[in-house]
Structure 1
Amino acid sequence: MPETKAVPPSWAAPRPGSASRSLTDSLRYAAPALLGYAAVRLTGVAILLITASVTGKDGMHRLTGRWDSVWYQRIAEHGYGYGVRLPDGTFHSDLAFFPLLPALERGLSVLFPPLGVAGAGLLISWLASLAAAGGIFAVGARLYGRRAGILLAVLWGAYPTAFVQSMAYTETLFTALAAWALYAVLTDRWITAGVLCVGAGLTRPVAAALIAAIGVTAIWRLFTAWRGGEPLRTHRRMVVGACLAPLGWLSYIVFVAVREGNPFAYFDVQADWNNRIDGGAALAAFVVEQFGHNVFAGLGLCAAFAFLFWVVWLCVRQRPRQPLPVIVYCVVVVVISLIGSGYFGSRPRLMMPAFPLLLPAAVALAGARRRMVPAVVVGVAALASGVYGAFTLLGSGPP
């Protein structure tokens, strides 16, 4: 009896001409997305620098020398082992920060000493932002066409907290790895997806969402293959990729555990930073507290969360449907961002890697009858994002 050939889902099936497309052709195909994204982010940086100049502040320092970027640079220069004891007795350790960005900062600063670790971090972030825009475009174009992919990448650059994409932070590096890992899954390149997920797991803890997306998809594919009578050995590469996926994240957790002599050391370190998983209790308490200060602030927060849940629902119900790995990744990133006890103002930034949230808007704009509508929407969003970024970065609060 002839062996049954496994048939991949439609989102994993080859597209006409995709196998023969050269790197030059691929860059040409993605060029509008990359150029549009770069234009949006340059607009944000220009607004920051102009506002900083008018107010007598150092705009570039705001991109390289504040908040988390300082911790990453210190790790790049001296390795792990630094911490700060706060007045309330808690200890903030640099072990809370994952190692890939500082390792890259150190390596690049050694190769190009004039950059220093601060300049290296900024350069890595900017290059990674273009790689992220390319991966986001690739996912969007794969699922809903080139125009939707272009708009998806550009809208991500105009995200309200997109100013972080221009800082020496890990968001762009992580999103680049996650977007291309998802694209690898969508094109049935499982070992590539697993390797990229290892890098993501060494970058940010939210890599748990990407690990879940790859793992759940692999399990579902194996289950459907078994139910359909397919030989499971035809999915060997998928199993290898899924097994690789958690190794980066796990390796850092184990490193901290061995270093501190405590199997739960990483989670204790995060708890000292007030980053506990509390199921959303801290978030709910914060919203209730706002009602006590200003009822309109509380109502505004409730409206914002209602809008977020509505967008998630649109993603789940979108036609054609978002594929399983994309929707699992998106939903888990949102959930992780909401169930922790950390600083409320950081939550929009923590959700920024969930770029599939923008797919319904990108598809709707791509189908707009008036061709000026997408340009106007993107332009307004880019200006609003730039102004908000300048206000936040030149203020005193962390993003």
Structure 2
Amino acid sequence: MRSAKQRLSLLWSSHPWVVLIVTMACFLVAVTVLGTWSRGDYLRRYPTHDYRLAAFSPPLNNILYYDSEHYYNIATSGYDASTPTSPARARIAFFPFYPMITHGLSVISGIPIDWSLLIIDWMSALTLVVVLYYWAIAELRHARIRDSAAPKFMLMGLVLFPTSFFLATGYTESLFMLLIAGSLLSYRQHRYALAGLLAALATATRVQGICLVIFFFLELISVRRRRIVLRQPIEYRKLIPLIMAPLGMLAFMVFQFITRGDALAFIHAQTIWGKFSSNYISNMFLHSDIRDVWYLAVYSFLCIATYKTLGWRWLLYCLAPFVLTLSAGSMMSINRYILSIFPLFLGLALFRHRISRPLLVGIGASSFLLLVTNIVFFYIGAWVG
């Protein structure tokens, strides 16, 4: 008679994707329950503080916040360019792929837009953990690193990160990370056309997707140099994802040029959100608080771990989204953007043997504490990322 631990171990060895999906489902439910409870308790204490504006149907009016509201409006009525300072015009800063497929799901199935937002978010999160797991295995095989436990530790670090709850809240995190992970996994499997397609969809989902171009370029020149030294033919199929990756963003720019006469409207709209101001220094810290010290310290540590274990190419890729975000002159949402740089967590998983146990426990415990705090704050209407 096998024990529960033995049965779980057997299930993991034979069907790891089942364990991953069930675990992620439990995480999504736990986040939603904790968030809904904290919001209900908050409104009982402060009944006049319910300042939500979105017309979400119950119970989603207790779950969907901030960016979800903009994606809901884009999926419902598209982009509006009525006046230069209107909130509707500012929505051009939000990329179209997430609201597009939300609208598509709603039209095909008859499911309301708000429920479609959450369904796509949750389905993406459930698929994400499986794709990330197999990407990590493929990446370690490519790098000739033997550490079978690293993919599991990577996912554990990702879920414990203080902004991982955004995987459950109608934001682009789940979908964006799934597209990036799928593109990188396809690339390692030499399915370059699929890698390019997923990369193009990623650049149509969020501006940080363009950083994939850096990864594909660095991989190309590295392989080219190695093959020249070994006198092997160069595999030009690797150019496919490099060429295809920017197409999603370019398509969005063409749409902006046709509808507004401004191909860079998504950048210019950032000024409405407090970015690209004339005073970069003061604006950089306008939305910062003491918690950002933790995020910046941990991010720096993760970059070092990634460089030590995965090399300089992955370090440059992990630095690119961070630098791109700071180039707007604002640290707004930087903690959420760090979450989507998931190679950092693989670097940490591989580096875990070189970290003292107290430090590793301290990072994990503080991360979990911030995660719970962020969930509660987010659901009562505070800005946390």
Q: TM-score if structure 2 supplies the norm length?
A: 0.79
CA distance in 1, matches of 2:278, 2:210: 17
2:132 maps to a residue whose letter is: I
Report the equivalent of 2:3. none
CA distance in 2, matches of 1:191, 1:153: 27
Residue 381 of structure 1 and its aligned partner are, at CA, apart by 4.9
Q: Is residue 205–residue 249 contact of structure 1 (8 Å, CA) maintained in 2?
A: yes
Report the equivalent of 1:258. 258
CA distance in 2, matches of 1:277, 1:236: 42
Report the equivalent of 1:212. 214
Report the equivalent of 2:113. 117
Report the equivalent of 2:51. none
Report the equivalent of 1:6. none
Change (3 A) 1:365 1:230: closer
Change (3 A) 1:380 1:31: farther
Q: Is residue 79–residue 89 contact of structure 2 (8 Å, CA) maintained in 1?
A: no
Change (3 A) 1:103 1:27: farther
CA distance in 1, matches of 2:13, 2:185: 14
CA distance in 1, matches of 2:149, 2:204: 33
Report the equivalent of 2:23. 36
Change (3 A) 1:246 1:85: closer
1:334 aligns with 2:322: yes
> More deviation in 43-52 or 123-132?
43-52
Report the equivalent of 2:296. 305
Change (3 A) 1:376 1:345: same
Where in structure 2 are the equivalents of 1:112-151 lying within 5 Å? Answer: 112-113=109-110, 115-142=111-138, 143=140, 145-151=147-153
Where in structure 2 are the equivalents of 1:214-253 lying within 5 Å? Answer: 214-232=216-234, 235-253=235-253
Residue 364 of structure 1 and its aligned partner are, at CA, apart by 5.2
Residue 101 of structure 1 and its aligned partner are, at CA, apart by 0.8
Change (3 A) 1:170 1:302: closer
The 3-state SS of whatever aligns with 1:34 is helix
1:141 maps to a residue whose letter is: I
CA distance in 2, matches of 1:274, 1:384: 26
Question: Which segments of 5 or more consecutive residues in structure 2 lack a partner in the other structure?
Answer: 1-10, 45-57, 141-145
Report the equivalent of 1:12. none
Change (3 A) 1:222 1:38: same
> More deviation in 155-164 or 267-276?
267-276
Q: Which protein, 1 or 2, shows the higher relative CO under an 8 Å CA cutoff with sep ≥ 6?
A: 1
Residue 25 of structure 1 and its aligned partner are, at CA, apart by 10
CA distance in 1, matches of 2:70, 2:198: 24
Aligned pair partner of 1:152 in 154, 159, 174 = 154
RMSD, aligned CA: 3.6
Q: Is residue 292–residue 335 contact of structure 2 (8 Å, CA) maintained in 1?
A: no
1:394 maps to a residue whose letter is: I
CA distance in 2, matches of 1:27, 1:248: 37
Greater than 6 Å deviation, 4+ residue runs: 24-27, 277-280, 366-370, 373-380
CA distance in 2, matches of 1:377, 1:304: 11
Residue 155 of structure 1 and its aligned partner are, at CA, apart by 2.4
Question: Which segments of 5 or more consecutive residues in structure 1 lack a partner in the other structure?
Answer: 1-23, 291-296
CA distance in 2, matches of 1:314, 1:280: 30
Change (3 A) 1:196 1:273: same
The 3-state SS of whatever aligns with 1:93 is helix
CA distance in 1, matches of 2:219, 2:200: 17
The 3-state SS of whatever aligns with 2:63 is helix
Change (3 A) 1:397 1:374: closer
Residue 377 of structure 1 and its aligned partner are, at CA, apart by 8.4
Where in structure 2 are the equivalents of 1:227-376 lying within 5 Å? Answer: 227-232=229-234, 235-276=235-276, 281=281, 286=286, 297=290, 301-302=292-293, 304-318=295-309, 321-322=310-311, 324=313, 326-342=314-330, 344-363=331-350
Residue 247 of structure 1 and its aligned partner are, at CA, apart by 0.9
CA distance in 2, matches of 1:279, 1:357: 31
Q: Is residue 157–residue 382 contact of structure 1 (8 Å, CA) maintained in 2?
A: no
Paired residues, number = 355
2:214 maps to a residue whose letter is: A
Q: Is residue 117–residue 170 contact of structure 2 (8 Å, CA) maintained in 1?
A: yes
1:397 aligns with 2:383: yes
Aligned pair partner of 2:177 in 175, 186, 191 = 175
Where in structure 2 are the equivalents of 1:17-96 lying within 5 Å? Answer: 28-56=15-43, 60-64=60-64, 66-81=65-80, 92-96=89-93
Q: Is residue 141–residue 150 contact of structure 1 (8 Å, CA) maintained in 2?
A: no
Change (3 A) 1:254 1:154: same
Q: Deviations over 1:279-312 (max 9, x none)?
A: 974565559x97xxxxxx4xx7556534422221
Q: TM-score if structure 1 supplies the norm length?
A: 0.76
Report the equivalent of 2:54. none
CA distance in 2, matches of 1:69, 1:251: 23
CA distance in 2, matches of 1:139, 1:272: 38
Change (3 A) 1:222 1:194: same
1:237 maps to a residue whose letter is: R
Residue 165 of structure 1 and its aligned partner are, at CA, apart by 1.1
2:112 maps to a residue whose letter is: G
Residue 226 of structure 1 and its aligned partner are, at CA, apart by 3.4
CA distance in 2, matches of 1:145, 1:153: 14
Q: Is residue 278–residue 340 contact of structure 1 (8 Å, CA) maintained in 2?
A: no
CA distance in 1, matches of 2:221, 2:40: 54
Q: Deviations over 1:58-99 (max 9, x none)?
A: 8742432x211111111111122256765xx99842211111
Change (3 A) 1:262 1:170: same
Q: Is residue 75–residue 113 contact of structure 2 (8 Å, CA) maintained in 1?
A: yes
Q: Is residue 197–residue 207 contact of structure 1 (8 Å, CA) maintained in 2?
A: yes
Q: Percent identity?
A: 21
Change (3 A) 1:353 1:85: same
The 3-state SS of whatever aligns with 1:197 is helix
